A and B are shown apart, each in its own frame.
Chain A
C-alpha cells in the first residue's frame, strides 16, 4: 500500500509535467498538422533559462519561471520562423527534417553554454522535502507544489483559449485555415504564436520539473518522447486527451518501474507510443478521423 501510494503520487506528478509537454505538442499539431520535433529541446532550453536566472543569477523562483517561459516563447517563435514558415508549402517531410535539424542545433548550443555531455546540473528544491501525511498516505510537499503549478498552467491555457482574442484566432485557424483567412485572421502570424505558446508550455513544464530532477542537454528528447506518447495515447489533436494521456503515461511509467523493473520505466513510453499507433490510431479522446484522398 505504501509503495502503491508513493508510485501513484510520483506518477501523477511526472504525469502532470508530461501533460504540459503533450499540451504544447498538441497545440502546435492542431494548428499546423505538424509535430515539432524540436519541442523537447525547447523544453530543455526553458529549463536552462530558469537555471541561469534562478541558480546563477539568484533571481527568485516565480520571476525566473515567468522569464524562462517568456524565453521559451521567443525560441518557439524562432522555430516557426526558421523551420516552419518557410517550409509549410513544401510538405511534411521538409518540416520534420528541418525541425529535427533545429533540435540538434539547440542541443549543441546548450552543450556549449551549459556544459558538456555528462554534466548534470542540480536545481535547488522549492520547498522543504518533508513528506506530508494524508491519512496513512505519504506525499512529498515538492510533488504537491509541482502538481499545483502544472494544473495552474493548464487553467491559464484554458482561460487563454476560451477568453482571449489570440486564443480564439488559434482555435479558428486550427479549425479551418481558409475560413480563418477569409474572416481576416493573419494565419501565418497565428502559426507563429502557436509555436510560441507550445514552447511556452514546454518551458513551464521544464521549470516545474527542474527541482525534481537534474538538467542536462540530452533531457529534451526523452521528454519529447514521453510528451508524444501522452499526446498519441490521448489522441493527437485533442487537448483534454493530451492531459489525460500525460497522467496515464506518468502512472504507467511509475508502475512499470515499481512493479516490474526500474529499467522498464524508460522503455514504457516507447511501448505506449507503438501500442497507441497500432491499436488506437485516434487515441482515447481523439476524433475519429476520415482519411482523405
Chain B
C-alpha cells in the first residue's frame, strides 16, 4: 500500500494512459497530449539546469528554437530526412548550450541570468532577420512527416515518437539525477566552492549541465516541428521563457516528478487561455510569482507531505531549515541556493 501512490506508479499510469490515447482520442486531444509530452521534456531540461545544477539561465526558449530551426532547416535547406535532421537539431542545440557553459564559468548569479537572456534575445533576432537562412518573420512550413514503411498515419506516428522520446528522456533524467552526475549537480548548486573542495570538476559538470539541458530543449524543438509542421520565430519568444520557468517552479525546482506535473498542469491552463494573450501573461506571471512567494518548492511539496510512498532524493528540503541570508554586500556570491539538502 505504501508505494501504491508512489511516483513510479504515477508515471506508469500517465504514460500508460497516453499510450492508449490514440485509440479513442480526436485530433485536438492528440495535439494537446503532444504538447504535454513536449513540455515535459522542456521543463525537465530547464529543471536539470536551474533546479539541480543551480545555474539560473534564461536561454531555454532559445535552445528550444535552435532545436526546431535546426531540425526544420536541415530538412528544407539540405534535404535531410527527418530522422537525421531531428537528432541533428538536438545536437546543434546541445553544442550551443555547451558553448554557453564557458561564460557560465566566469559569470554567476545575476550576470549569468542576464547574459543568457541577452543571448536568447539575440537568437530571436537572428530568427527574424537572418532571412537568407531562417526565412525571417514569416517562418516556413514543412510536409507532414511520412512514416511510409510503417502502416501508421502521420499524426499517430508523430504521437508515438513523441511518447517514446519523452519517456526515454524522462527515464534518463531520473537515473542521471540519482547517479554521480546528479549528486555533483546538487553539490554545485548548494555551494560551488564546497563542491570544488570535494573534488567536483566545476568546468566538467557545468558544461555537462548546460549540454544536457540544451539537448533536452533541442530535442523538444525537433519534436515540435512535426507536431505543427511549421516553424516561425514567434513560437520561441519571451513568453516561452516564462512558460518554461513557471512549469518548473509550479512543479518544484529540483524535482523530476515536479517537472512532469508542472508541465502537464500548465499545458492545460495554456490551452484554456489559448485565445487570450494578455490573460495568459497575467496568469503565468502570477503563477510564477505566487509559487515563488508562497510555495517555493512547488506542488510536489504537497504531494510529498500527503502521499506516503512519494519520495524523491536530492530535492530541496521542505523549507523548514533554511539559512537566512540578507542580500548584503558581505556575501554577494553566496546568496543563491543556500538551502540544505535532504
A interface residues, Cβ below 8 angstroms from B? 29, 32-35, 82-83, 86-98, 100-109, 111-112, 116-117, 174-178, 221, 225, 228-229, 232, 236, 263, 266-267, 269-271, 273-274, 277-278, 281, 289, 291-293
Please give the distance in Å from A86's CB to the nearest CB on chain B: 6
Please give the distance in Å from B295's CB to the nearest CB on chain A: 12
The distance in angstroms between the C-alpha atoms of A292 and B333, with both chains bound, is 6
Q: Which residue of B lies closest to A84 (CB)?
A: B327
Among A34, A108, A111, A112, the one with the most B-chain Cβ atoms within 10 Å of its Cβ is: A108
User: DSSP class of B's interface residues: helix, strand, loop or mixed?
Assistant: helix
Check A91–B292 contact: CB distance below 8 A. Answer: no
The distance in angstroms between the C-alpha atoms of A184 and B335, with both chains bound, is 24
Please give the distance in Å from A72's CB to the nearest CB on chain B: 18
Other than the given A263-B125, A270-B122, A274-B118, 6 more pairs (CB < 8 A) read: A100-B288, A107-B285, A112-B278, A225-B121, A228-B118, A292-B333
The distance in angstroms between the C-alpha atoms of A277 and B249, with both chains bound, is 27
Check B335–A273 contact: CB distance below 8 A. Answer: no
The distance in angstroms between the C-alpha atoms of A98 and B113, with both chains bound, is 14
Please give the distance in Å from B8's CB to the nearest CB on chain A: 29
Please give the distance in Å from B333's CB to the nearest CB on chain A: 6
The distance in angstroms between the C-alpha atoms of A106 and B277, with both chains bound, is 13
B274 within 8 A of A: no
Check A96–B110 contact: CB distance below 8 A. Answer: yes
Check B334–A293 contact: CB distance below 8 A. Answer: yes
The distance in angstroms between the C-alpha atoms of A91 and B335, with both chains bound, is 5
A-B contact pairs, 28 of them (CB 8 A): A32-B327, A82-B289, A87-B292, A88-B326, A88-B327, A89-B326, A90-B296, A90-B322, A95-B327, A97-B249, A97-B288, A104-B288, A105-B281, A108-B283, A111-B281, A112-B279, A174-B329, A263-B125, A267-B122, A267-B126, A270-B125, A273-B114, A277-B111, A277-B114, A291-B333, A292-B333, A293-B193, A293-B334
Check B329–A33 contact: CB distance below 8 A. Answer: yes
Check B292–A277 contact: CB distance below 8 A. Answer: no
Partner of A274, one of B119, B245, B288, B324: B119
B interface residues, Cβ below 8 angstroms from A? 50, 54, 56, 103, 106-107, 109-111, 113-115, 117-119, 121-122, 125-126, 129, 193, 238-239, 242, 245-246, 249, 277-290, 292-293, 296, 322, 324-338
The distance in angstroms between the C-alpha atoms of A219 and B239, with both chains bound, is 14
Please give the distance in Å from A33's CB to the nearest CB on chain B: 5
Check A97–B292 contact: CB distance below 8 A. Answer: yes
Check B238–A221 contact: CB distance below 8 A. Answer: yes
Check A101–B289 contact: CB distance below 8 A. Answer: yes
Partner of A82, one of B54, B284, B293, B334: B293
Partner of A278, one of B106, B290, B293, B296: B106
Inside 8 A of A236's CB, which chain B residues have their CB?
110-111
Q: Which residue of A lies closest to B119 (CB)?
A: A274
Please give the distance in Å from B228's CB to the nearest CB on chain A: 20
Please give the distance in Å from B99's CB to the nearest CB on chain A: 12
Check B329–A176 contact: CB distance below 8 A. Answer: yes
The distance in angstroms between the C-alpha atoms of A91 and B117, with both chains bound, is 19
Q: Which 10 pairs of residues, A with B, have the shortest CB-CB distance?
A: A104-B285, A108-B281, A101-B288, A101-B289, A108-B282, A111-B278, A105-B285, A273-B118, A270-B122, A263-B129
Please give the distance in Å from A37's CB to the nearest CB on chain B: 8
The distance in angstroms between the C-alpha atoms of A272 and B327, with both chains bound, is 27
Among B109, B286, B292, B335, the one with the most A-chain Cβ atoms within 10 Å of its Cβ is: B292
Among B283, B324, B331, B336, the one with the most A-chain Cβ atoms within 10 Å of its Cβ is: B336
Inside 8 A of A270's CB, which chain B residues have their CB?
118-119, 121-122, 125
Inside 8 A of B246's CB, which chain A residues have their CB?
101
Please give the distance in Å from A263's CB to the nearest CB on chain B: 4
Partner of A34, one of B110, B119, B125: B110
The distance in angstroms between the C-alpha atoms of A282 and B270, with both chains bound, is 41
Inside 8 A of A90's CB, which chain B residues have their CB?
296, 322
Check B322–A92 contact: CB distance below 8 A. Answer: no
Check B292–A108 contact: CB distance below 8 A. Answer: no
Check B338–A91 contact: CB distance below 8 A. Answer: yes
